């Protein structure tokens, strides 16, 4: 009875579990990126994003007030204050005044300073430094503490990326540069592939089967294999270092899938519609524009989603074909790498910049997702 049409398969639960796992596998990195973009660098370095809602123990490097804040109490010069902002509940376990001995003293214990003075850090983060000689220098004493801090979320990362002149100017320019690359690199292959797919689906000419087989074969050509020959060709004709070269590269690499996807969809369209249009005197161009294109919108939108995502998130093609020392053609993926600096480690900037970068692809995907499955299943059933 399990094989009778209309009966529910006994493996439905396995399908549901598999789909749920796949959704979670795709969702976890995005959620982790979002959560990390609101965390501080110390929190990211000490605990994973899944622990963001719980207190965590961190090794922090803080500074006391500058020597200009010292006051004289009898024969002693005193600097005191709080290492943490008011209202933050912390629990300091150990502290130190040297990176080689950051856990030299326990909270509340009196420690020695290098100038002969003393320091005390309480469990709540309150410190007091005393010295028989005046404190000197332009910066406050470094204090290394190990403390359990509550979860903290901040908008400072987004302020640094979007509004800090040192970063925002580059990110804004990179955003529009990415749009300049992505929009033409999405439209051009769609236009070319639509004409080619119609010809391969509904026009009879010699060698059509071989041409279809060649297009299918091009689907497996690695991108990296063609980069150097293509760059040499672009340099010979003078388009190797600009937007035009990047557009042509993305178009060339995207056309095989576009033609294959659209051709499969157009072949599945009712033949009667095409034949009736020809009987009424419509030319191939009129049939293509007025009948085929409107009916093929799901497949066009499906490929547009893929091409937009690939082009927007591309770094390799941008590094090869957008060679510009002035940074006028820097795209967002390259700008994110530059924001990390030469030594890296600014993970909060990386997470924030990456989430800003994926905001547009997410918007495009959710706006056109209803066409995605319809386009991908093109030609699978009659």
Domain 159-376, CATH class in plain words: mainly alpha
Residue-wise DSSP of 328-343: TT--HHHHHHHHTTTT
Q: Report CA 309 to chain centroid distance, whole Å.
A: 11
Residue range 96-124, pLDDT digits in tens: 998 888 888 999 999 988 878 899 999 99
* Res 21: pLDDT: 92
Angle between helices 208-218 and 165-202 (to 10 degrees): 150
Residue range 250-307, pLDDT digits in tens: 998 899 989 998 898 888 888 888 888 888 888 888 888 888 888 888 888 888 888 9
* Res 382: pLDDT: 44
Contacts (Cβ under 8 Å, ≥6 apart) of 60: 42, 144, 145, 146, 147
CB-CB contact of 112 with 118 (8 Å): yes
Task: Annotate 329-346 with b (16+ C-beta within 10 A) or e (fewer).
Answer: bbbbbbbbeebeeeeeeb
* Res 355: pLDDT: 84
* Res 181: pLDDT: 92
Q: Where are the domains of the chain?
A: 12-51, 56-150, 159-376
Per residue, the 3-state secondary structure of 350-363, as one string, reads: HHHHHHHHHHHHHH
Report the alpha-carbon distance of residue 279 to residue 277 in Å, rounded. 5
* Res 186: pLDDT: 93
Report the alpha-carbon distance of residue 67 to residue 242 in Å, rounded. 54
The two beta strands, 91-96 and 105-106, are antiparallel
* Res 80: pLDDT: 92
**Model-wide pTM > 0.75:** no
* Res 155: pLDDT: 87
Report the alpha-carbon distance of residue 216 to residue 191 in Å, rounded. 19
* Res 185: pLDDT: 93
Beta bridge partners, 111, equal 119
* Res 381: pLDDT: 46
Report the alpha-carbon distance of residue 206 to residue 214 in Å, rounded. 14
Q: How many Cα atoms within 13 Å fall on the side-chain side of residue 318?
A: 25
Q: How many Cα atoms within 13 Å fall on the side-chain side of residue 301?
A: 18
Q: Could you list the mean pLDDT of each consecutive 10-residue stretch along the chain, which spans 382 residues?
A: 56 85 87 88 82 86 90 90 83 90 89 87 92 88 89 84 69 86 93 92 86 87 82 83 87 90 87 87 88 87 88 87 73 78 66 83 79 57 45
């Amino acid at each position: 009875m399990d094989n009778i049409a209309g009966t529910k398969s006994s493996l439905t639960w396995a399908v549901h579990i598999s789909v749920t796992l796949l959704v979670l596998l795709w969702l976890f990195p995005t959620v982790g990126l979002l959560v990390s973009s609101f965390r501080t660098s110390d929190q990211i370095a000490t605990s994973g994003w899944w622990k963001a809602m719980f207190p965590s123990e961190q090794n922090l490097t803080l500074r006391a007030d500058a020597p200009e804040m010292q006051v004289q109490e009898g024969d002693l010069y005193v600097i005191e204050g709080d290492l943490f902002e008011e209202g933050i509940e912390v629990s300091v376990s150990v502290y130190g005044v040297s990176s080689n001995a950051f856990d030299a003293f326990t909270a509340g214990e009196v420690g020695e300073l290098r100038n002969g003075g003393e320091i005390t850090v309480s469990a709540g983060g309150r410190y007091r430094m005393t010295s028989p000689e005046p404190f000197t220098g332009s910066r406050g004493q470094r204090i290394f503490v190990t403390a359990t801090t509550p979860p903290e979320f901040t908008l400072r990362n987004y302020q640094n990326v979007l509004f800090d002149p040192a970063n925002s100017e580059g990110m804004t320019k990179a955003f529009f540069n990415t749009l300049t690359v992505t929009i033409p690199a999405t439209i051009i292959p769609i236009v070319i592939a639509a004409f080619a797919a119609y010809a391969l689906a509904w026009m009879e000419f010699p060698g059509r089967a071989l041409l279809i087989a060649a297009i299918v074969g091009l689907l497996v050509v690695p991108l990296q294999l063609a980069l150097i020959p293509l760059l040499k060709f672009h340099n010979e004709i003078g388009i190797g270092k600009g937007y035009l070269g990047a557009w042509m590269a993305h178009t060339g690499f995207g056309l095989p899938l576009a033609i294959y996807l659209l051709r499969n969809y157009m072949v599945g369209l009712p033949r009667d519609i095409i034949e009736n249009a020809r009987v009424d005197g419509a030319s191939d161009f009129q049939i293509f524009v007025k009948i085929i294109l409107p009916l093929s919108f799901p497949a066009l939108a499906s490929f547009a989603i893929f091409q937009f995502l690939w082009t927007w998130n591309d770094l390799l093609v941008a590094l090869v074909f957008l060679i510009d020392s002035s940074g006028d053609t820097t795209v967002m993926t390259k700008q994110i790498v530059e924001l990390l600096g030469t030594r890296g480690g600014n993970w909060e900037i990386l997470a924030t910049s990456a989430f800003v970068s994926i905001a547009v692809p997410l918007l495009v995907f959710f706006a056109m997702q209803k066409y995605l499955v319809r386009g991908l299943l093109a030609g699978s059933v009659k």
